[in-house]
Amino acid sequence: MRLRRLPQAIEALKQSDPGSPITLYQLQRLVKQGLVPSLRDGRRLFVDIDNLAEDICAALKATQRIEQTGVRPIKE
């Protein structure tokens, strides 16, 4: 387990996959939504960079399933 802050995690991801479209803002959003596991130390957030690519893929698949189902109207 190698924990890094979010900016360093994005740098490590870009080094291993230069064509990755994931940005710092997208990673922050996924962490805030709880879709990517993280640890908090005060204001600092840490993610495990060993599993980061798999966690992001799982999170994006989960958000796609949510978007596909859409919002259904409430029957009155």
Q: Where are the domains of the chain?
A: 3-69
Contact predicate 7/24, CB 8 Å? yes
| Region of poorest pLDDT, from 39-43, 54-58, 71-75 | 71-75
Which conformational region is residue 18 in: left (phi greater than 0), alpha (psi within -120 to 50 degrees), or beta?
Answer: alpha
Q: What is the pLDDT of residues 18-54, one digit of tens each?
A: 998 899 999 999 999 999 999 999 999 999 999 999 9
Q: What is the pLDDT of residue 34?
A: 92
SS3 for the chain is CCEEEHHHHHHHHHHHCCCCCCCHHHHHHHHHCCCCCCEEECCEEEEECCCHHHHHHHHHHHHHHHHHHCCCCCCC
Q: What is the pLDDT of residue 64?
A: 74
Q: What is the pLDDT of residue 25?
A: 95
Stated pTM of the model = 0.77
